[in-house]
Amino acid sequence: MKIQPCFFNAHHAPIGAFASFTLGFKGASGGLGFEMGHPANQNVYIGLESGQKGVYNALPFYDSPEKHEGLITSDPAAASVPEVRIEPFPDDAVSREYGLCSDTWQAGELRFTVYSPVEPVPDPGKNPDHGDLPRILLPAVIAEMEIDNRHSERCRKAFFGFTGNEGPGMRRIGGTTGDLRGIGQGRNLAICTDEKKTGSGIGYSAEEVLYRSSSAGTVHGGLGTAALLLFDAPAGEITTLRFVICFFHEGSVTTGVEASYFYRRFFESIEDAAQYALHHFPAIRQAAVAAESRIETAPLSAQRRFMLIHAVRSYYGSTQLLDTSEGPLWIVNEGEYRMINTLDLTVDHLFFELAMNPWVVRNVLDWYARRCSYCDTVRLPGDGREYPGGVGFTHDMGVANVIAPAGASAYEQPGRNGLLSYMTHEQLVNWVLAAAVYALNTRDGEWLQSKEDLLCDCFASLINRDHPESGQRTGVMRRDSSRCAGGSEITTYDSLDPSLGRGRGNSCGAMKRWAAFLLLHRLFEMLGRAEAATEYIQEARRIAGMILSHVNGSGFVPALVDTVPATTALPLVEGLIFPWQAGCGEVFDAKSEFAPLIDAARRHFTYALSSGACRCADGGWKLSSGSDITWLSKLYLCRFIATEILGIDEDGMFTEADDAHCRWLLDERNSYFAWSDQFRSGAVVGSRYYPRGVTSILWLREKRRDDVREALSN
């Protein structure tokens, strides 16, 4: 699809390599990023000789060469080459075709496409030797450059290269191993080709490399951080060049748990990966084209299709499949924060994973059960006594390749009431929901049985955070984990106002509790444990009653049921997605015992939008009437629940919101960060370069299409 403005960063990421060839924002804003929470900020040079001597045109992904990192600062002449100039193609000469797995820039006679994968990963725990794994886990993306020199009478030089970041030196690859030609930085980054007539050079600037290549043929020397691959595009022809853009990290890469990348089972070195990628270039491209075509037929508006594509790409840039002595470990790193498998992201990635890689859900849940759970006690506010708690799960598994000690997270700290406090109740609910949805979706009975005891413990722990005695329960979380040490629990909505961010008395949290009890009920029916199942459904009923009792005169349920003022929050409906995803759609029927609850949720949501409580001035949506901060991933989710579960008509408030959300992402203030989650007044304020937008995968499962939206989407 064509996107305007077209200069936004996008991930072009391998699967599970925690790497991305990010490109699209002007200037030194992209490049070969590796285990980073942001773009690599390298100059990327993709260009072609112009008709004018010494002048080259390139896509605008580099900074002007005023400031050269000089070897010999006393002689700037060494780096500056007035004879050569690289001019960016004018903005209006560049067009971009942006798809799920291909991203093409066309400018003048140059066409450049990057292909990146979107494909299920066969369970590496079950079959580590699966024949597709090397291709799917290949730590590389591929690219093609086409130079249309049919209307020129002279050979023109084309180039592709980048400037490395601080670290090992730049190098030229090839000559010794088969047909491989390339440039790279140390052992970690490389751009390679199998084009036989490839030149390459390293210098203080791309201009200098081009200058030396034109004067001396071969480019000698290895100083400087700019490296280019160089080609001659003969006159009168179209020249097509193939590239593989590779990332590699050998050996152990983590602490806490020792792990290497799973792709190390298949590739010895970056050269090895590059060879493989070039050898399998057609198959890799074909897989990308096939994946992309599947999404192109989806009846989504341009805005929503863009957001979905953009989000899926950002997700893959954060993925990391590791190989440990305890088996594979699938990690989604948390965008700019790089936290490992944040459990409240896992529960949002659930819909994507179940569509693509159900084993990933099981893998992460198993790691959480085995390593990232703990047993706590609980406290009432203002009461120093400790009451029985139960099993809890940490917020995350660590940060930036540092796996946290067992039972601890990178994020959580005691003594806090806001950011960085514990999320024990939230993560307990999340673990149960993810486990239940996984088991009910996949019918993985063996796994369910292995988790039966833990699920019982989870129920007890959930109950203890309300009240251990049935008669005293209210249905809402009321007790903080003693890990808070005087502070109080928060929710995943940590950066929003307390109405969403506080754990206790939270109606959105209560709705997720409701879903958890409902699904526990189903699981224990499946396990043939009728008594437990009955006990569990009672809790779901209790919560439904509690929620209904709090519907206020305006028709909405306050975000906190135990305090004033009453704020309105869209995520009240969030809990509904889990029964839906678990295949329990009958819960939403008019004859269901929970019909009144669903009806209240529908009225709540309708009120939140139509009253303007949860809408921004530009038509975008806000999660809470009490905060100007909003998260796109959750809005995507709520949008789906509204139309598909609650049956709310997709009116102008929906399409206006799509337009606004799309504008936010493409705004020049924000689009350096590819897909980001957290916005305030249309400006990104956190959760940049983030994976969670894949909640939008649900949009592909919409059944209630309406003509109005279709008409508006063109």
Contact residues for a copy of itself, defined by CB under 8 A: 35-36, 71-75, 77-78, 166-172, 175, 184, 186-187, 212, 215-216, 220-223, 250-253, 255-256, 337-339, 398-402, 404-405, 408-415, 418-420, 485, 494-495, 629, 678, 680, 685-686
Q: DSSP labels for 228-254?
A: EEEEEE-TTSEEEEEEEEEE---S---
Closer residue to a copy of itself in complex, CB, 145/404: 404
Two tokens, residue 632: 């796109």
Closer residue to a copy of itself in complex, CB, 159/204: 204
Spatial CB neighbours of 390, under 8 Å, sequence gap ≥ 6: 375, 376, 457, 458, 460, 461, 462, 464
Shortest CB 394 distance to a copy of itself, Å: 11
Shortest CB 79 distance to a copy of itself, Å: 10
Shortest CB 225 distance to a copy of itself, Å: 10
Closer residue to a copy of itself in complex, CB, 172/451: 172
Which SS3 state, helix, strand or coil, does residue 184 take? strand
Q: How many residues does the chain have?
A: 714
CB 201 within 8 A of CB 213: yes
Shortest CB 278 distance to a copy of itself, Å: 19
Residue 53 burial (CB count, 10 A)? 9
Give CA 337 to chain center in angstroms.
Answer: 12
The residue type found at 547 is I
Closer residue to a copy of itself in complex, CB, 6/485: 485
DSSP-derived secondary structure letter, 25: S
Shortest CB 341 distance to a copy of itself, Å: 14
Shortest CB 211 distance to a copy of itself, Å: 10
Give CA 169 to chain center in angstroms.
Answer: 31
Instruction: Tell me the CA distances in angstroms from 108 to 55, 96, 105, 112, 149, one per residue in order.
Output: 14, 12, 10, 11, 10
Shortest CB 399 distance to a copy of itself, Å: 4
DSSP-derived secondary structure letter, 550: T
Shortest CB 412 distance to a copy of itself, Å: 6
Instruction: Tell me the CA distances in angstroms from 702 to 138, 298, 351, one per residue in order.
Output: 33, 10, 13
Closer residue to a copy of itself in complex, CB, 186/358: 186
Distance CA 107, CA 230 (A): 18
Shortest CB 685 distance to a copy of itself, Å: 5
- Helices 424-442 and 507-526 cross at an angle (nearest 10°) of 40
Shortest CB 81 distance to a copy of itself, Å: 12
Shortest CB 419 distance to a copy of itself, Å: 5
Closer residue to a copy of itself in complex, CB, 253/526: 253
Closer residue to a copy of itself in complex, CB, 409/430: 409
Shortest CB 219 distance to a copy of itself, Å: 8
Closer residue to a copy of itself in complex, CB, 3/189: 189
Shortest CB 398 distance to a copy of itself, Å: 7
Which of 664, 660, 632 minimizes the C-alpha distance to 8? 664
Which SS3 state, helix, strand or coil, does residue 621 take? strand
Which helix (DSSP H) or strand (DSSP E) does residue 106 occupy? strand 102-107
Closer residue to a copy of itself in complex, CB, 368/578: 368
Shortest CB 433 distance to a copy of itself, Å: 25
Q: Name the β-bridge partners of 45.
A: 161
Closer residue to a copy of itself in complex, CB, 581/678: 678
Which helix (DSSP H) or strand (DSSP E) does residue 544 occupy? helix 530-549
Closer residue to a copy of itself in complex, CB, 507/633: 633
CA-based torsion, 9, 635, 591, 546: positive or negative: positive
Closer residue to a copy of itself in complex, CB, 73/470: 73
Instruction: Tell me the CA distances in angstroms from 392 to 372, 408, 417, 475, 477, one per residue in order.
Output: 8, 11, 18, 18, 14
Instruction: Tell me the CA distances in angstroms from 290 to 99, 286, 382, 627, one per residue in order.
Output: 12, 6, 59, 42
Sheet with 44-49, side-by-side order of all strands: 85-88, 55-58, 44-49, 156-163, 226-233, 199-203
Closer residue to a copy of itself in complex, CB, 301/427: 427
Closer residue to a copy of itself in complex, CB, 461/676: 676
Which of 339, 350, 323, 348 minimizes the C-alpha distance to 372? 339
Two tokens, residue 71: 């070897």
